[in-house]
């Protein structure tokens, strides 16, 4: 139970769902945000930007050479429609490209400028390594560092480049501090390719960040995080890290973004993210068309996609007319009247309240009258979630796309900080929604589904691939459509064939303007966050190749075999933490006032007796299910980022994870490194941890392999993954505000201490001891993977233990 969230839930669920099919209705107040009223922004006037392909580097800033030298820089972009101010953003681009003074994205490819929000798409071939030197170039023209565009809360467990003031009394990076002030120093960055099956050095570990090579880094500041590492440590280019990606996974839609400890929400909101597509390989890009008698692999998906040599998909009308495969990232943003990004700088935003002595924000009422860290235990700047009032698609607010009456392939990504999306397509007659067009989903997070799934509001239809359309399967609730939690992807075909010229099709969002906890729930504001983008049929765009795209009812996808039986079942938990010292009361007008601020063993009883509740949420946490030694009952033990690592699979093992959600929210849970199968979900009693009732299988479009799954409140979500690569990785909630405040934990894939075959030759010999000795001379974040004696570190004791095993083995063979 939280102090204020039940109040907010009442607000969000008070209205009826009557506007579900009335997108022009103003039946709900817009989500609060900046000084720019979202209802005044014209919709569907800006053409959708089609992300071009990131060009490979032709010049190297140093040794060794990389395929791509990709820098993150600050620039302006016309996100709002023409006539509004341009927005200052950050994003990635080719490092050798020069940004002229006054540059405003997007720019034609002929300008040789690849900086854009979202970033250009990195194209990859399955099984072919891609080497990237990521460069933190957040400096101004004089070479001085640029401060963050948003307020940074130093009381979270964060990167802490000043390396002072940790709450445990030490001075170091990557810790919590008691400093409530907004951080305005140089910004850490570390890039993570979300969904990549990658070596630990290149994963973008949250404590592996680095600062820009600025001239004015303050004395004493750490330029690197505690676990900074590189795939190729010969790289000495200042302000950079050299990573390499094996791409040893089937064709899929993954993406890249910042992952710095405690500030991912701020960094990603500023803009740096882009698609990373893998093509070809086993179980990829080979399809059967059961409507023909041609060769077995004659099925074709809609195409082409933009290519590095195929011309400009945005500033060349002839090229644009041919494109049939488009990556689409949907994000929530709010703006100020000058076009700048709005991101909350105090906790009052989440509570929808005003701070005493400050001007009202976006029609908030009441006040938030509480003390913060260091007086209480509540962080002053962090907001538990953030829901913004403007939908931005591929870097523009509410864009439009002219489409031929043909089939299109859209690679959808929910890139929102906190918002869950529930997408549907409707033909429009003025402001009235008429017939619904289905999404034909062919893929998820980690490749193709076993079968095409036709998704409509309230139902799923699994298509056998022989041209027939079986009976639909009812969704768990009639409100379900194409549901996507933050970071989830959906590879879909939309069939516009046969639609008359001028037909308008609108993509809408009916997930709530609040934390998603399952349906039924009040849909998003239909006048703002309930609308996403619009398609307009233009028959003049028809191409001869359109007839070659296989109807989705006839597609047979390249199915993958399922994982085998698990070697271990691991039980983990999702938790919400409330204050242990600050007792508050919610007034009838929504104001939150302090009753008392005093930690102690009787705090809970004293707060209840005073008619108050603990201020919450204080943080979100992951944990483990443990047995209470006193009662013998199972219970959740929430854990912090810095606590002992408890998830330590043995390399090569397949594990089943049971995720117990003790909170009132659904959480999109993401595991780095692995691709997993969703097994089922089941209710449980949080008081006894007892499963209740039958298990529920995954929805048809959750089959196949994923890397992010929505774990609903009060349920056990079961998944299965194979941990096949040694190293240190993380698992976390992908609500970025949760991830940044303790809802992220490290996990380590370790060698089997009973058979420490480090060299992979199927034997344990002196070669393995030599390998281990070499690891001692080149320490890395993966060291714990080689810890044989379980003391939490790698040292000569592990080498001695390994030699003892080798000698014992040789003696046994004599």
Please report the DSSP string for 769-788 in residue order.
Answer: HHHHHHHHHS--TTGGGG-S
- Cis omega (within 30 of 0) for bond into 273: no
- Residues 711-760 pLDDT 10s: 999 999 999 999 999 999 999 999 999 999 999 999 999 999 888 988 88
Percent pLDDT > 70 in the chain is: 94
Long-range Cβ pairs for the range 524-527 (8 Å, 24+): 524/28, 525/28, 525/29, 525/30, 525/31, 525/389, 526/19, 526/20, 526/22, 526/23, 526/24, 526/25, 526/26, 526/27, 526/28, 527/23, 527/24, 527/25, 527/26, 527/28, 527/30, 527/39
Domain 16-24+388-556 maps to which CATH number in 2.40.50.100, 3.40.50.970, 2.60.40.420, 1.20.1600.10? 2.60.40.420
Checking if the pLDDT of 52 tops 60, the result is yes
Fold category of 568-579+615-749 in CATH = Immunoglobulin-like (2.60.40)
Read off the pLDDT band of 24 (50, 70, 90): very low
- Residues 210-266 pLDDT 10s: 999 999 999 999 999 999 999 999 999 999 999 999 999 999 999 999 999 999 999
Residues in the chain: 814
Q: How far is residue 743's CA from residue 576's CA, in Å, rounded to a whole number?
A: 9
- Residues 291-330 pLDDT 10s: 755 555 678 999 999 999 999 999 999 999 999 999 999 9
326: closest CA among 306, 299, 312?
306
Q: How far is residue 715's CA from residue 36's CA, in Å, rounded to a whole number?
A: 39
Long-range Cβ pairs for the range 303-308 (8 Å, 24+): 303/409, 303/545, 303/549, 304/545, 305/277, 305/409, 306/50, 306/51, 306/52, 306/53, 306/121, 307/53, 307/123, 308/53, 308/55, 308/56, 308/123
pTM for the predicted model, two decimal places: 0.95
Read off the pLDDT band of 17 (50, 70, 90): very low
Instruction: Report the half-sphere exposure of 666 (CA within 13 A, side-chain side).
Output: 24
Q: How far is residue 99's CA from residue 290's CA, in Å, rounded to a whole number?
A: 50
Residue 109 phi/psi, 5° resolution? -60, -25
Residue 357's alpha-carbon distances to 180, 361, 367, in angstroms, are 18, 12, 10
CATH 2.60.40.420 in the chain, residue ranges: 16-24+388-556, 117-285, 568-579+615-749
Q: How much is the pLDDT for 247?
A: 98
Burial label for 232, CB within 10 Å (0-12, 13-18, 19+), is: middle
Q: How much is the pLDDT for 2?
A: 42
Instruction: Give the helix, strand, coil percentages of the chain, each rounded to 5.
Output: 10, 35, 55
- Residues 487-539 pLDDT 10s: 999 999 999 999 999 999 999 999 999 999 999 999 999 999 999 999 999 99
Q: How far is residue 202's CA from residue 204's CA, in Å, rounded to a whole number?
A: 6
Q: How far is residue 788's CA from residue 752's CA, in Å, rounded to a whole number?
A: 8
Q: How far is residue 155's CA from residue 169's CA, in Å, rounded to a whole number?
A: 14
Read off the pLDDT band of 31 (50, 70, 90): confident
CA gyration radius for the chain?
Answer: 26
Read off the pLDDT band of 29 (50, 70, 90): low
- Are the beta carbons of 341 and 390 closer than 8 angstroms? no
397: closest CA among 154, 39, 18, 737?
39
Strand, helix or coil for residue 792: coil
Q: How far is residue 741's CA from residue 157's CA, in Å, rounded to a whole number?
A: 7
Highest mean pLDDT among 359-363, 657-661, 759-763, 787-791: 657-661
Long-range Cβ pairs for the range 775-781 (8 Å, 24+): 778/233, 780/200, 780/201, 780/229, 781/200, 781/201, 781/205, 781/207, 781/208, 781/227, 781/229, 781/727, 781/728
CATH superfamily for 117-285 is Cupredoxins -  blue copper proteins (2.60.40.420)
Percent pLDDT > 90 in the chain is: 83
Q: How far is residue 534's CA from residue 549's CA, in Å, rounded to a whole number?
A: 22
Checking if the pLDDT of 814 tops 50, the result is no
Q: How far is residue 252's CA from residue 667's CA, in Å, rounded to a whole number?
A: 23
Checking if the pLDDT of 590 tops 90, the result is no
Q: How much is the pLDDT for 262?
A: 98
Q: How much is the pLDDT for 360?
A: 63
Q: How much is the pLDDT for 551?
A: 96
Checking if the pLDDT of 196 tops 60, the result is yes
List residues bridging with 243 in a β-sheet.
Answer: 132
Q: How far is residue 488's CA from residue 412's CA, in Å, rounded to a whole number?
A: 8
Read off the pLDDT band of 805 (50, 70, 90): confident
Q: How far is residue 523's CA from residue 514's CA, in Å, rounded to a whole number?
A: 9
Q: How far is residue 560's CA from residue 794's CA, in Å, rounded to a whole number?
A: 38
Checking if the pLDDT of 5 tops 90, the result is no
Q: How much is the pLDDT for 284?
A: 85
Any residues with CB less than 8 A from the CB of 804 and at least 6 apart, and which?
A: none
Q: How much is the pLDDT for 26?
A: 39
- Are the beta carbons of 212 and 138 closer than 8 angstroms? yes
Q: How much is the pLDDT for 22?
A: 32
Strand, helix or coil for residue 738: helix
Q: How far is residue 551's CA from residue 495's CA, in Å, rounded to a whole number?
A: 8
Q: Treating both helix axes as pointing N-terminal to C-terminal, what angle do 766-777 and 796-813 enclose, rounded to 10 degrees?
A: 180
- Residues 55-109 pLDDT 10s: 999 999 999 999 999 999 999 999 999 999 999 999 999 999 999 999 999 999 9
Average pLDDT over residues 564-572: 97
List residues bridging with 299 in a β-sheet.
Answer: 287
- Cis omega (within 30 of 0) for bond into 508: no
**First vs last Cα of the chain: how many Å apart?**
65
Q: DSSP E strands: which ranges in 430-523?
A: 432-437, 439-444, 447-456, 459-462, 473-474, 482-484, 489-495, 504-509
Q: How far is residue 666's CA from residue 625's CA, in Å, rounded to a whole number?
A: 19
Taking the CA atoms of 316, 318, 319 and 323 in sequence, report the sign of the dihedral they define.
positive
Read off the pLDDT band of 362 (50, 70, 90): low
Q: What is the dihedral of CA 542, 543, 548, 550, to 10 degrees?
A: -30
Q: How far is residue 433's CA from residue 55's CA, in Å, rounded to a whole number?
A: 41
Residue 39's alpha-carbon distances to 256, 334, 642, in angstroms, are 31, 12, 44
- Residues 596-618 pLDDT 10s: 999 999 999 999 999 999 999 99
Q: How much is the pLDDT for 776?
A: 87
Any residues with CB less than 8 A from the CB of 126 and at least 6 apart, and which?
A: 247, 248, 249, 250, 251, 278, 279, 280, 281, 282, 284
Q: How much is the pLDDT for 363?
A: 60
- Residues 423-461 pLDDT 10s: 999 999 988 888 999 999 999 999 999 999 999 999 999
Q: Count other C-beta atoms under 10 Å from residue 753's C-beta.
A: 16
Average pLDDT over residues 653-668: 98
Q: How much is the pLDDT for 80?
A: 98
- Are the beta carbons of 606 and 596 closer than 8 angstroms? yes
702: closest CA among 678, 682, 719?
678
- Are the beta carbons of 268 and 736 closer than 8 angstroms? yes
Q: How far is residue 472's CA from residue 675's CA, in Å, rounded to a whole number?
A: 28
Q: Count other C-beta atoms under 10 Å from residue 448's C-beta.
A: 27
Checking if the pLDDT of 1 tops 50, the result is no
Residue 790's alpha-carbon distances to 640, 644, 766, in angstroms, are 20, 12, 21
Q: How much is the pLDDT for 754?
A: 87
- Are the beta carbons of 120 and 68 closer than 8 angstroms? no
- Residues 378-418 pLDDT 10s: 999 999 999 999 999 999 999 999 999 999 999 999 999 99
Residue with tokens 């280019």: 237
Q: How much is the pLDDT for 812?
A: 47
- Residues 672-686 pLDDT 10s: 999 999 999 999 999
Burial label for 219, CB within 10 Å (0-12, 13-18, 19+), is: exposed
- Residue 339 has which token pair? 């076009």
Checking if the pLDDT of 21 tops 80, the result is no
Taking the CA atoms of 221, 226, 229 and 233 in sequence, report the sign of the dihedral they define.
positive
Q: How much is the pLDDT for 361?
A: 62
Q: How far is residue 167's CA from residue 378's CA, in Å, rounded to a whole number?
A: 14
Burial label for 212, CB within 10 Å (0-12, 13-18, 19+), is: buried
Read off the pLDDT band of 28 (50, 70, 90): very low
Read off the pLDDT band of 357 (50, 70, 90): low
């Amino acid at each position: 139970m939280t102090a204020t969230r039940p109040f907010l839930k009442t607000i969000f669920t008070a209205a009826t769902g009557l506007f579900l099919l009335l997108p022009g209705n103003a039946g709900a107040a817009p989500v609060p945000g900046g000084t720019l009223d979202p209802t005044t922004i014209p919709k569907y006037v800006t053409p959708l930007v089609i992300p071009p392909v990131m060009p490979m580097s032709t010049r190297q800033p140093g040794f060794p050479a990389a395929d791509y030298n990709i820098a993150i820089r600050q620039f302006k972009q016309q996100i709002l429609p023409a006539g509004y101010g341009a927005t200052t953003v950050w994003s990635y681009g080719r490092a050798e490209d020069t940004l002229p003074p006054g540059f405003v994205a997007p720019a034609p490819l002929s300008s040789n400028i690849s900086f854009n929000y979202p970033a250009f798409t990195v194209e990859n071939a399955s099984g072919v390594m891609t080497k990237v030197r990521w460069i933190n170039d957040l400096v101004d023209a004089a070479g001085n560092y640029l401060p963050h565009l948003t307020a940074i809360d130093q009381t979270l467990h964060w990167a802490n480049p000043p390396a002072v003031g940790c709450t445990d009394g030490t001075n170091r990076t990557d810790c919590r501090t008691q400093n409530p002030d907004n951080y305005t120093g140089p910004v850490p960055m570390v890039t993570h390719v979300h969904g990549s099956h990658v070596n630990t050095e290149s994963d973008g570990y949250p404590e592996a960040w680095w600062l820009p090579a600025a001239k004015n880094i303050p004395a004493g500041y750490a330029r690197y995080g505690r676990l900074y590492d590189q795939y190729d440590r010969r790289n000495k280019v200042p302000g950079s890290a050299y990573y390499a990606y094996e791409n040893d996974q089937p064709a899929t839609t993954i993406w890249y973004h910042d992952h710095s400890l405690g500030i991912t929400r701020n960094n990603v909101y500023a803009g740096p993210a882009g698609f990373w597509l893998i093509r070809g390989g086993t179980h990829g890009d080979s399809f059967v068309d059961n409507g023909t008698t041609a060769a077995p692999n004659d099925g074709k998906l809609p195409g082409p996609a933009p290519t590095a040599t195929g011309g400009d998909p945005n500033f060349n009308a002839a090229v644009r007319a041919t494109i049939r495969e488009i990556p689409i990232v949907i994000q929530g943003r709010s703006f100020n009247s000058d076009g700048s990004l709005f991101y909350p700088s105090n906790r009052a935003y989440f509570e929808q309240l005003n701070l005493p002595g400050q001007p009202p924000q976006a029609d908030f009422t009441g006040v938030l009258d509480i003390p913060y860290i260091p007086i209480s235990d509540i962080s002053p700047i962090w907001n538990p979630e953030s829901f913004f009032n403007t939908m931005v698609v591929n870097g523009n607010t509410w864009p439009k796309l002219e489409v031929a009456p043909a089939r299109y392939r859209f690679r959808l990504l929910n890139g929102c900080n906190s918002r869950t999306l529930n997408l549907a397509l409707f033909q429009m007659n003025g402001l009235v929604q008429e017939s619904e067009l289905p999404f034909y989903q062919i893929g998820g997070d980690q490749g193709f589904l076993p079968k095409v799934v036709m998704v409509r509001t309230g139902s799923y239809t699994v298509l056998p691939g022989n041209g027939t359309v079986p009976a639909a399967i009812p969704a768990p609730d009639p409100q379900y459509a194409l549901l996507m939690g933050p970071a989830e992807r959906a590879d879909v075909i939309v069939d516009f064939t046969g639609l008359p010229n001028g037909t308008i099709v609108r993509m809408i969002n009916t997930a709530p303007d609040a934390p998603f906890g399952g349906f039924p729930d009040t849909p998003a504001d239909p006048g703002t966050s309930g609308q996403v983008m619009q398609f307009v049929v233009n028959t003049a765009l028809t191409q001869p190749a359109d007839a070659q795209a296989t109807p989705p009812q006839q597609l047979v996808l390249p199915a993958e075999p399922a994982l085998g039986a698990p070697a271990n079942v691991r039980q983990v938990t999702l938790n919400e933490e409330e204050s242990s010292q600050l007792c508050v009361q919610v007034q009838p007008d929504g104001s939150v006032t302090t009753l008392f601020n005093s930690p102690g063993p009787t705090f809970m009883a004293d707060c209840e007796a005073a008619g108050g509740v603990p201020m919450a949420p204080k943080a979100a946490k992951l944990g483990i299910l443990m047995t209470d030694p006193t009662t013998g009952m199972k219970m959740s033990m929430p854990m912090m980022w810095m606590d002992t690592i408890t998830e330590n699979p043995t390399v090569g093992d397949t594990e089943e994870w049971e995720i117990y959600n003790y909170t009132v929210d659904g959480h999109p849970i993401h595991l780095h490194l692995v691709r997993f199968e969703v097994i089922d979900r089941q209710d449980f009693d949080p008081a006894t941890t007892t499963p209740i009732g039958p298990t529920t299988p995954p929805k048809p479009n959750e089959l196949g392999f994923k890397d992010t799954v929505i774990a609903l409140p009060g349920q056990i979500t079961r998944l299965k993954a194979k941990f096949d690569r040694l190293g240190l990785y993380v698992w976390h909630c992908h609500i970025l505000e949760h991830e940044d405040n303790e809802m992220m934990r490290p996990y380590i894939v370790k060698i089997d201490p009973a058979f420490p075959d480090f060299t992979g030759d199927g034997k344990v010999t002196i070669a393995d001891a030599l390998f281990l000795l070499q690891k001692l001379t080149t320490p890395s974040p993966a060291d714990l993977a080689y810890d044989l004696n379980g003391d939490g570190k790698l040292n000569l004791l592990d080498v001695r233990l390994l030699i003892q095993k080798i000698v014992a083995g040789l003696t046994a063979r004599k």
